[in-house]
Amino acid sequence: MRLLSTRHLKGLLKSLSKLIEFHDVSYTYNKGTPLEKKALNHVSFSVDKGEFLAIIGHTGSGKSTLIQHLNGLLKPDTGKIIIDSQDTSGKGLKQLRKKVGIVFQYPEHQLFEETVYKDIEFGLIKHNIDEPERKLRIQETARIMELSDELLQKSPYELSGGQKRRAAIAGILVLQPDILVLDEPIAGLDPRGCNELFNIVNNLYSSKNITVILVSHSMETVADYAKRIIVMDNGNIIIDGNVNEVFLKDEELERNGLSVPQITKLMKKINLKNDKISREIFTVDQALEEIISYLEGKHD
């Protein structure tokens, strides 16, 4: 029996870790009409299990089109998409959509049941989950999303903006997806609501090893939480790297209608005055640590 070489073994393990694979994917809206627009142009990338990936780009860059391909809402004109070994162009979309939970912008607009509890329960009933299991899942999801028993019995329309957003996300999480896709999840929320929501999402990511894909215009949020960033422009992936690699390309980002976090801009200006202070700072916490370290003389 032939033994696998170390290189082949590493390659095999790497391939097994792939949860999402896009292979040369293209998609065009209104094909064959005067309104034809190519939204994805030969896009190829993969996502490992347990990644926290952010997708950024100006409006119309292809972000929303891309995420709608993740659970078969859209199917590629050319190319192939594999989600956890399943081709999205084939059968079994119901099972696929249990694996991939997409939270679109303003998901609270889809709340419609008499109570928050019934709204969260709705998807479980559609998937024929029995009542004892439904109760267990709802209790666990409500705890994760910080929805009290009192809130669960209220009408969704009685909740605050942040509570509604968390209730809507709970309706996705209760199906126990392997992949959670968040499309502009903080749109319309005040700073407190944003912090509450992302603290919960980050805890969920850390404790459940769930794969998170975040689409956001907030570079501060991306810098705080994402581990990897894909930058899109006109249906193409133009940058793919970790937070440091992407945000150090500030001039390229600006040419494509994007920016770096405000704190990065500030630290870059400080670095011009004092090069002992690093410009490679992308979050407020990093900035505080860098400045305290400098003041304590640790950079000497």
Sequence-distant contacts of 155-159: CB under 8 A, at least 24 apart: 155/114, 155/115, 155/116, 156/108, 156/111, 156/112, 156/113, 156/115, 156/116, 156/119, 157/111, 159/116
The predicted pLDDT at position 1 comes to 43
Cα separation, 246 vs 282, whole angstroms: 11
In a domain, 150, yes or no: yes
The predicted pLDDT at position 35 comes to 92
In a domain, 6, yes or no: no
232-282 confidence digits (pLDDT tens): 999 999 999 999 999 999 999 999 999 999 999 999 999 999 999 999 999
* Residue 99 reports pLDDT greater than 70: yes
| Domain CATH code at residue 123 | 3.40.50.300
Q: Tell me the mean pLDDT in the region 195-201.
A: 90
Query: What is the domain range of residue 233?
Result: 19-260
In a domain, 79, yes or no: yes
In a domain, 251, yes or no: yes
In a domain, 287, yes or no: no
The predicted pLDDT at position 5 comes to 61
Q: Tell me the mean pLDDT in the region 10-34.
A: 82
What lies within 8 Å, CB to CB, of 167 at 6+ separation is 108, 111, 116, 119, 120, 145, 147, 151, 156, 159
139-186 confidence digits (pLDDT tens): 999 999 999 999 999 999 898 888 989 999 999 999 999 999 999 998
In a domain, 265, yes or no: no
In a domain, 54, yes or no: yes
Query: Taking the model in full, what pTM does it have?
Result: 0.88
In a domain, 272, yes or no: no
Q: How many domains does the chain have?
A: 1
128-149 confidence digits (pLDDT tens): 999 999 999 999 999 999 999 9
The predicted pLDDT at position 125 comes to 94
32-89 confidence digits (pLDDT tens): 899 999 999 999 999 999 999 999 999 999 999 999 999 999 999 999 999 999 999 8
